[in-house]
Amino acid sequence: MNPHKNHSSTLLAGAAKTDITPPLGTFVNGDFVSHYAQWIHDKLYAKALVLQSGDAFVAIVIVDICVLPKEYVDDIKLLIVKQTGIPFQNILIASTHTHAAGSVASVYLCAADLSYSKKLPPLIANAVTKAKQNLRPAKIAFGSVSVPEHVRCRRYFMNEEYQPFNPVSGGGVDKIKTNPFGKERQIVKPQSDTDPEVGFIAIKSLDEQWISLLANYSLHYVGDWDNGTITADYFGFFSEVIQQKLNAGEDFIGMMSNGTSGNINIWDFQQTANYPDCKFEKSKFIGKDIAEKVFQSLQYLQWEEEPAIEVSYTELMIGVRKPDAKELEQAKLVVANSSYENLEINDEGLQSIYAREQILLNELPNELPFPVQAIRIGEGTIGAIAAEVFAETGLWLKELAGKKKYFTIGLANGNCGYLPPAHEFEVGGYETWRSRTSKLEKTAEEKVRNKQLELIKSVQKK
């Protein structure tokens, strides 16, 4: 018997989390080379929110991890379907993109950790199962607040004296430099705008008990910790502080998702703000500041008790950029003469890394499936894109999709790498360097954003 069947509210909500902290020694990816879990600063989680309206279910899962490959996510979704009955297309699973978590994907010279990769799927699925078991009558509200202080475009125009090195083009020169460490005095200006908005959905029970709050911010990560650290970064600190501010119970699940931050971080090369210097203090400061601003905006929310749930999901086939025959042969020569065991991250080392990437890229199919998803919950809509999306794309979607009632979750339902707008390839920079991390055809962003907008409009019409 369903104890909620005769309740006046058609919305049911439940949330839960499972501990996914990797054991010491686990591979940690996100850098050009492998790191290993050496100490655990704070626990990592898979956090799930399940919503039901009538016969419609949706599950949103945010995982403290750098990236999740599409095939890996698909297998987890099938496990969730088996355990809960929630339809495959109604499940959203996204990475936070913390760079201090266990590796389940090969990234540059770091391999996936086989033991952790095997351990993680049932833990993620169990979070959804527990969240569904926790369903109770609820109400929901969409909100937003501007927090421009902590987002910076990380791609810079440099003065003419500095020539940004491109390791893919045989030592060619870019017009843009990403993260110009040590070259701060040669910066002219940031290349593009940021998205300062924190979008969020808040969920309460009908007796005013907090169930969950899912936020979304377009900040890559903070990274104020030593290699070998395990931490959820600012995503985790936000979740802790918002729970404290709400005076919520232990069963409350705070969640921060990554937005369209492919070209955005908080490495303040122009020193426009003063942040604490000690390890973890910057990420704590940012997480706390965002949580406080979200908390202050809650008084303006308009709550819905009977929101309709609509979901649209599709997969585009997107072409893969590959080296031509000459480039492939040149890459093989570089690999043959490289010493990967003694590699240094300098121009020569980057050429060795990217030469290897060309060979691995050549082994991929010529096209790859790219998931795109839109979820409407009452008056608000969430988009999901399986890539590291630029802020420009996110702002475009917000402008056309309803502005303050919409946000995009990046690295959702898989990881197809960076998704630069086509014009970015004309100026270069790290995010465009051809590799398994930036492998999609140059027109991919236009195809994806147009399809995303189409899905958004389709669920908003229903």
- 164 to 186, 199, 270: CA distances (angstroms): 11, 35, 18
The predicted-structure confidence for 21-40, as pLDDT tens digits, reads as follows: 999 999 999 999 999 999 99
Count how many Cα atoms sit within 13 Å of the Cα of residue 39 in the half-sphere of its side chain.
Answer: 4
For residue 200, what are the contacts with CB-CB under 8 A and spacing of at least 6? 142, 143, 144, 213, 214, 215, 216, 294
Whether the pLDDT of residue 200 is over 80: the answer is yes
Whether the pLDDT of residue 270 is over 90: the answer is no
- Of 129, 31, 114, 2, residue with least CA distance to 76: 129
Q: What is the rounded distance in angstroms from the CA atom of residue 286 to the CA atom of residue 292?
A: 10
Domains in the chain: boundaries? 11-151+191-315+366-461, 323-362
Q: What is the rounded distance in angstroms from the CA atom of residue 310 to the CA atom of residue 191?
A: 37
- Of 196, 198, 200, residue with least CA distance to 145: 198
* Phi and psi angles of residue 378, each rounded to the nearest 5 degrees, phi first: 65, -120
The predicted structure's pLDDT at residue 402: 77
* Phi and psi angles of residue 333, each rounded to the nearest 5 degrees, phi first: -65, -45
For residue 292, what are the contacts with CB-CB under 8 A and spacing of at least 6? 241, 245
User: Does residue 39 contact residue 228 with C-beta atoms inside 8 Å?
Assistant: yes
The predicted structure's pLDDT at residue 97: 99
Could you identify the residue written with the tokens 């999306």? 389
- Of 63, 61, 62, 66, residue with least CA distance to 104: 66
Rg (CA), the chain: 22
- Of 388, 326, 324, 333, residue with least CA distance to 362: 324
Give the predicted TM-score (pTM) of the model: 0.97
Q: How many CB atoms lie within 10 A of CB 190?
A: 17
The predicted-structure confidence for 439-460, as pLDDT tens digits, reads as follows: 999 999 999 999 999 999 999 9
The predicted-structure confidence for 273-330, as pLDDT tens digits, reads as follows: 789 989 999 999 999 999 999 999 999 999 999 999 999 999 999 999 999 999 999 9
Whether the pLDDT of residue 171 is over 80: the answer is no
